[in-house]
Structure 1
Amino acid sequence: MLKPEAVDVAKFRPAIPGAVTTDVCVHQWDRVRQRLREEIGEESYTSWFARIELDRVGAGAVQLSVPTRFLKAWIQDHYLDRLSELWREENGITKVDLAVRTAVTRSLPLKAANAPRETLSERPAVATAPARPAAAAPSATQASADVGAGSPLDPRFTFETFVVGKSNTLAHAAARQVSEAVPGAAPLFNPLYLHAAVGLGKTHLLQAVAWAGAARGRRVVYLTAERFMYGFVAALKSHAAIAFKDALRSIDTLVIDDLQFLTGKNMQQEFCHTLNALMDAGRQVVVAADRPPAELDALDERVRSRLAGGLVVELATLEEDLRHQILKARSQVLAEQHRGFTVPTPVLEFLSRHVGTSGRDLDGALNKLLAVNKLTGEPVTLEMAEGAVKDLVRPCDPKRVRVDDILRVVAKHYNVSRADLLSQRRTANVVKPRQIAMYLAKTLTLRSLPEIGRRFGGRDHTTVLHAVRKIDGLIATDRALADEIETLKRLVAE
Structure 2
Amino acid sequence: MRDDRTGDIGAGTSALRTVVGEDGGTMSGRADALLWDRVKRRLRTELGEDVFSSWFARVEFESADGATVTLSVPTRFLKSWIQAHYQEKLLTLWAADLASVRRVELIVRGASRPRVQPKTDKPAVTTQGAPAPAVAPTAAAAPAAMAAPRMENDAAGSPVDPRLSFETFCEGAANRVAYAAARAVAESISGRPTPFNPLYIHAGVGRGKTHLLHAIAQAARRADPNRRIVYLTAEHFMFRFVAALKNQSAIAFKEGLREIDLLLIDDLQFLQGKSVQQEFCHTLNALIDGARQVVVAADRPAADLETLDERVRSRLRGGVAFEIGAPELDLRRHILATRYAVAKAQNPGLDIPETILEYVAQSVVSNGRDLEGALNRLVAQWQFTNQAVTMASAEVTLRDLIGAREPRRVKIEDIQKVVASHYNVSKADLLSSRRTRTIVRPRQIAMYLSKTLTPRSLPEIGRRFGGRDHTTVLHAVRKVEELMQGDRTLAEEIELLKRMIDE
Bin for the TM-score computed over the shorter chain = 0.5 to 0.7
Indicate conservation of the 8 Å contact 1:475/1:482, yes or no. no
Distance 1:309 1:476 in 2: 35
| Matched residue, 1:242 | 251
**Residue-by-residue CA offset, 1:329-366 (whole Å, 9 max, x unaligned):** 11121222223223332222111001232111111111
Is contact 1:438-1:467 (8 Å) kept?
no
SS for the counterpart of 1:331 is helix
Amino acid at match of 1:250: E
Question: Matches of residues 360-399 of structure 1 in structure 2 within 5 Å?
Answer: 360-394=369-403, 397-399=406-408
The alignment status of 1:206 with 2:213, answered yes or no, reads: yes
Match of 2:12 in 1: none
2:164 to 150, 157, 160: 157
Q: 1:184 aligns with which of 170, 177, 191?
A: 191
Structure 1 unaligned blocks of 5 or more: 1-21, 23-60, 102-143
- Secondary structure at the aligned position of 1:170 is classed as helix
- Give 1:202's aligned amino acid: K
Q: Deviations over 1:49-80 (max 9, x none)?
A: xxxxxxxxxxxx986869x97997589899x9
Residue number in structure 1 paired with 2:178: 171
Measured at CA, do residues 447 and 299 of structure 1 come closer, stay the same or move farther in structure 2, by a change above 3 Å? farther
Q: Per the alignment, in what secondary structure is the counterpart of residue 200 of structure 2?
A: strand
Aligned to 1:492: 498
Q: Per the alignment, in what secondary structure is the counterpart of residue 291 of structure 2?
A: coil
Aligned residue identity for 2:246: K
Identity %: 50
Letter in 2 for 1:197: G
Change (3 A) 1:380 1:77: farther
Q: Conserved in 2, the CA contact under 8 Å of 1:65 and 1:100?
A: no
Deviation at 1:317, TM superposition (A): 1.1
Kindly tell me the number of residue pairs found equivalent between the two proteins.
385
Given that residues 187 and 283 in structure 1 are in contact (C-alpha distance below 8 angstroms), is that contact kept between their aligned partners in structure 2? no
Q: Distance in 2 between matches of 1:185 and 1:478?
A: 48
2:472 aligned residue (448, 455, 467): 467
Q: How many Å apart are 1:176 and its aligned residue?
A: 1.0
**Does the C-alpha gap of structure 1 residues 424 and 152 become closer, same or farther in structure 2, counting only changes over 3 Å?**
same
**Does the aligned pair in 2 maintain the 1:221–1:255 contact within 8 Å?**
yes
Alignment equivalent of 2:289, drawn from 263, 280, 299: 280
| Residues 10-409 of structure 1: pairs in structure 2 closer than 5 A | 73=105, 88=120, 148-215=155-222, 216-217=224-225, 218-394=227-403, 397-403=406-412, 405-407=414-416
TM-score by length of 1: 0.66
**Cα 1:455–1:254 shift into 2, 3 Å:** farther
> Residue 239 of structure 1: SS of its match in structure 2?
coil
Amino acid at match of 2:156: A
Per the TM alignment, residue 368 of structure 1 is displaced from its structure 2 partner at its CA by 0.9
Task: Give 1:186 shift.
Answer: 3.3
Separation (CA, whole Å) in 1 of partners of 2:119 and 2:469: 74
Question: Which structure 2 residue ranges, 5 or more long, are not aligned?
Answer: 1-22, 24-63, 70-82, 89-102, 130-150
Match of 1:46 in 2: none
Q: Return the offset for 1:262.
A: 1.5
- CA–CA distance in 1 between the matches of 2:459 and 2:258? 45
Residues 208, 420 of structure 1: alpha-carbon distance in 2 compared, 3 angstrom cutoff: same
Q: What per-residue deviation string (whole Å, max 9, x for no partner) do you get for residues 163-186 of structure 1? A: 111111111111111112233343
Match in the other structure for 1:30: none
Q: Which entry has the higher C-alpha Rg, 1 or 2?
A: 1
- RMSD between aligned residues: 4.0
Amino acid of the structure 1 residue aligned with 2:497: L
Rate the CA distance shift 1:204–1:97 in 2: closer, same or farther, 3 A: closer
Separation of aligned partners in 1, 2:184 and 2:104: 28
Check whether the contact 2:463–2:469 (CA below 8 A) recurs between aligned residues: no
Tell me if the contact between 2:364 and 2:371 (Cα under 8 Å) persists in the aligned partners.
yes
Q: Secondary structure at the match of 2:287?
A: helix
Secondary structure of 2:296 counterpart: strand
Distance 2:383 2:438 in 1: 60
Alpha-carbon spacing, 1:190–1:85, altered in 2? closer, same or farther (3 Å): farther
